[in-house]
């Protein structure tokens, strides 16, 4: 396995997923503006940010392969990133209550040695059960929603809120592992 893989993300969940696949890497978070462009579609948004994160870190760190990723939740056309505060988390969870939404993760794997990249947006459809206000308040009180797209973590305290998913579970966690490992293989990183 190559040891020149850099994960351009501060997400412990993304790191855990890569570790679970036996990938050796180092973590160097990207520092970019994540504000959506006007009229930017969700898949284009996450693909742009994933590429910018990978390029940002590649421009200042050693390594050959750089993995950038970004995840959003989309419900009724609204792109939901991380909530601004507890009130925003409550608003998001109320909107998700009892309805289906999409989780879209864009990833980019940049091969600095060859000057090539593989990128893709992966979509998973998630179905939430109807949530009582007390459930939402208790979950928000844990602090967990504040650093999660759409204000929830399927792998944590919000697992019971999810009735079912159509698509990749790891995508909802924050990194579509099957597709990312496939991109790393395509580029010769693993």
Token pair listed for 57: 């870190």
Rounded CA separation 71/85 (Å): 18
Residue 56 to residue 59: CA distance in whole angstroms:
5
CA–chain centroid gap for 53, Å, is 12
21: which DSSP letter?
A: T
| CA–CA separation, 138 and 146 (whole Å) | 13
User: Residue 61 contacts by C-beta under 8 Å, 6 or more apart in sequence?
Assistant: 6, 28
Which sequence positions are flagged as catalytic? 70
Contact assessment for residue 151 and residue 75, using Cβ atoms and an 8 Å cutoff: no
């Amino acid at each position: 396995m190559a040891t020149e893989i850099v994960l351009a993300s501060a997400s412990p969940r993304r790191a855990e997923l890569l570790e679970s696949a036996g990938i050796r890497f180092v973590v160097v978070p990207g520092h970019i503006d994540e504000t959506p462009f006007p009229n930017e579609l969700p898949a284009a948004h996450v693909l742009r940010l994933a590429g910018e994160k990978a390029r940002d870190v590649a421009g200042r760190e050693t390594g050959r392969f750089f993995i950038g990723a970004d995840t959003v939740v989309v419900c009724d056309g609204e792109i939901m990133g991380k909530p601004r505060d507890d009130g925003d988390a409550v608003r998001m969870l109320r909107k998700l209550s009892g309805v289906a939404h999409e989780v879209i993760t864009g990833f980019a794997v940049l091969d600095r040695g060859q000057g090539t990249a593989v990128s893709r947006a992966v979509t998973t459809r998630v179905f939430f059960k109807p949530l009582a206000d007390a459930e939402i308040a208790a979950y928000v009180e844990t602090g967990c929603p504040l650093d999660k797209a759409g204000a929830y973590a399927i792998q944590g305290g919000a697992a019971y809120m999810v009735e079912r998913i159509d698509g990749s579970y790891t995508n909802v966690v924050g990194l579509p592992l099957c597709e990312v490992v496939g991109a790393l293989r395509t580029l010769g990183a693993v």
